[in-house]
Amino acid sequence: MFTIGEFSRITGLTIKTIRLYHEKGLIIPRRVDEWTNYRYYDTENVEQARAIRYLRELNLPLSEIGEIVGSFTDDAELLDSLVTHRARIERQLSQLRSVQRSIDEIIARERESRAVALNQDRVAEERTLEDVTIASVRWKGKYADSGVAFSRLFKRAYRHAKSKPFNLYHDECFKEDDADIESCVVVGPGISSIDGLNVRQLQGGPCVSLVFRGSYDQLEIPYTRLTEYVHENGLKIICPIREIYLKGPGVIFRGNPKNYLTEIQFLVEEVSDGKDGFQEGT
């Protein structure tokens, strides 16, 4: 017979692990001295240890290993257990792949936000927006209630989303309690409907935009600069105004509001009648 130290050396199991396996009934010593409580093992225990190590390498749980070691005598008897275990692993892999995709999306968003922050100079930029397909929720209420609308939107459109979330503001002026807001996300061009959401084309066109770094209660800064730019360049704003949330409260942490990134976009056209202001668009 082998002492526990010898058994440990033979099997490659630590003494702590051997004692754990004894407690769980996986490897029962051939003899335990009634006076000293010393454990002694034989060649059959060595064979049990070899089988357990092999099954642990397959990531089988100890509860199932105990049943296998206690009941099976031939590799062929493992078939049903291995088939069940493989199916369990496949489910775990599917879940992990889903988690990996979510992590990749968070990393991509954060890297994009960081790149925008590093290159941000807070100067108005003129460019042309393309027509896009959006999924949206249109509602009336306070601007601060956008989070509720975005929660509803992403519950249904998350896997189709191709952009940062954004709001369309259909009013030409500030509304305190009944602002006309459409919370949106761009979706793939092949998407024609999503249950519970409005899926439609959002018209693009010439626009002026500005990316602002700071908390939402400071958004008057980019709005002021863009409005001044529109006036100085003989342009007219076409509603709705777009407010794109490049970086806001995180999925896990609220983050520092001073580091939020918001892009304001005004669709514009040249003034032809000597007046400036707003014009309702689509």
Q: How far is CA 273 from the centre of its chain?
A: 49
**What is the predicted pLDDT for the residue at 266?**
96
**What is the predicted pLDDT for the residue at 113?**
62
**Residue holding tokens 């800064």?**
221
Coil/strand/helix, residue 241:
strand
Token digits of residue 26? 């996986």
Say which range, 79-88, 135-144, 151-160, has the weakest mean pLDDT.
Answer: 79-88
Residue 75 CA to residue 251 CA, distance in Å, equals 47
- CA distance from start to end of the chain: 86
Q: Which tens digit of pLDDT belongs to each residue from 32-47?
A: 988 998 999 999 899 8
**What is the predicted pLDDT for the residue at 275?**
53
**What is the predicted pLDDT for the residue at 63?**
80
Superfamily of domain 121-280: Regulatory factor, effector binding domain (3.20.80.10)
Residue 281 carries which side chain, given as an amino acid letter?
Answer: G
Q: Which tens digit of pLDDT belongs to each residue from 179-211?
A: 999 999 999 888 989 999 999 999 999 999 999
Radius of gyration of the chain, Cα coordinates, nearest whole angstrom: 32
Instruction: Say whether pLDDT at 119 is over 60.
Output: no
Q: Which tens digit of pLDDT belongs to each residue from 230-279?
A: 999 999 999 999 999 998 876 556 778 888 899 999 999 988 755 555 55
Residue 247 CA to residue 219 CA, distance in Å, equals 14
For the segment 141-149, the average pLDDT, to the nearest whole number, is: 91
Cβ contact 15:26 at 8 Å: no
Higher pLDDT, 85 or 221: 221
Token digits of residue 116? 């925008």
- Domain segments of the chain: what residues? 2-73, 121-280
Q: Specify the DSSP class assigned to residue 161.
A: B
Q: How confident is the model at residue 133 (pLDDT cuts 50, 70, 90)?
A: very high
> Mean pLDDT for the chain?
85
Q: Which tens digit of pLDDT belongs to each residue from 52-80?
A: 888 888 888 888 887 777 665 566 666 77
For the segment 95-109, the average pLDDT, to the nearest whole number, is: 83
**What is the predicted pLDDT for the residue at 122?**
62
**What is the predicted pLDDT for the residue at 250?**
64
For the segment 10-38, the average pLDDT, to the nearest whole number, is: 90
Residue 168 CA to residue 185 CA, distance in Å, equals 10
Q: Specify the DSSP class assigned to residue 268.
A: E
Instruction: Select from 1.10.540.10, 1.10.1660.10, 3.30.1490.20, 1.10.8.100 the CATH code of 2-73.
Output: 1.10.1660.10
**What is the predicted pLDDT for the residue at 72?**
56
For the segment 84-111, the average pLDDT, to the nearest whole number, is: 82
**What is the predicted pLDDT for the residue at 264?**
96
